[in-house]
Amino acid sequence: MRKKYFFFDIDGTLALDGTLCVPESTMRCLHALRDAGHFTALATGRLQADAALFALKYGFDALVADGGHSAAIGGKLLFMDSLPVADCAALADRLDAAGIPWAVNAANETVRLTRDGRFAAAAGDSYFITRIVPDLDIHAQKAIYKLFIACTREREVEIDFGGLPTVRFTPHCMFIEPTDKAHGIRRLMDALGAPVEDVVVFGDGTNDLKMFDPAWLSIAMGNARPILKEAADYVTDACDKDGIWNACRHFGWI
């Protein structure tokens, strides 16, 4: 059988949304794919350091993280690119003027910096550790990997994002983060010296749209957003209904 290179989103694809709980059938499938000689990797919007812990726990060979802006193979970081700092800082200035709280992740650690307690109170999540730095100067940051914005969908429409990529996280919080996982996959495949036509991707969210590239096979979960299903080559069952196992059986990979 020809070797395939599998890239899986985490939340809502490999793991039940928001829980990081991987179904038993998915675990069996991952082991079977590896036993058959296939390559398994992550493709996630999560921060590199965050995704690396998941990769280590579940035995992944490699990972594309930061929405395509970083990648690692065998625990070795290949690259980790920042969002455009000037554009993020300009957006933060506009948020300040509008009275909308924000926080910034500026290092490869699950910590976000903010100037006061308003962001944590408004966002209401514990995804990252929130650290208050009263004299925080976002313009002075050397790199920015995520910008968190505490706002509802109603307030979101008032914001000028300046063309930066957005992802809605909860009803009260959204991110500025890269959404081009295909870019990271191509760079990782180039590092491996492997053909992109042997790539298979699994996803469920709108941030997976660019990952559904015509150069390779794209599989949407049964719980995926309708727009992603329309872009998919194949739609499998939901994450909690043996979706990954069933797709891999369907194509004869296991």
The model's pTM: 0.93
Characterize 31-49 residue by residue with b for buried, 16 or more Cβ atoms within 10 angstroms of its Cβ, and e for exposed.
Answer: eebeeeebbbbbbbbbbbb
CB of 147 closer than 8 Å to CB of 83: yes
Instruction: Give the per-residue pLDDT at 20.
Output: 81
CB of 42 closer than 8 Å to CB of 54: yes
In CATH terms, is domain 85-176 a member of 3.50.50.60?
no
Neighbours of 212 (CB within 10 A): 22
Query: Over the stretch 25-39, which tens digit does the pLDDT of each residue have?
Result: 999 999 999 999 999
Largest CA distance in the chain: 58
Question: Does 1 score more than 90 pLDDT?
Answer: no
Helix axes 243-250, 24-35, angle to 10 degrees: 30
Task: Compute the radius of gyration of the chain from its Cα atoms.
Answer: 18
Q: Which CATH architecture has domain 5-81+179-250?
A: 3-Layer(aba) Sandwich (3.40)
Query: Over the stretch 158-181, which tens digit does the pLDDT of each residue have?
Result: 999 999 999 999 999 999 999 999
The DSSP output letter for 40 is E
Q: What is the mean pLDDT of the chain?
A: 96
Give the start-to-end residue ranges of the domains of the chain.
Answer: 5-81+179-250, 85-176
Look up residue 11 and give its two tokens.
């939340």
Query: What distance in Å separates the CA atoms of residue 102 and residue 106, rounded to the nearest whole number?
Result: 13
Query: Over the stretch 83-124, which tens digit does the pLDDT of each residue have?
Result: 999 999 999 999 999 999 999 999 999 999 999 999 999 998
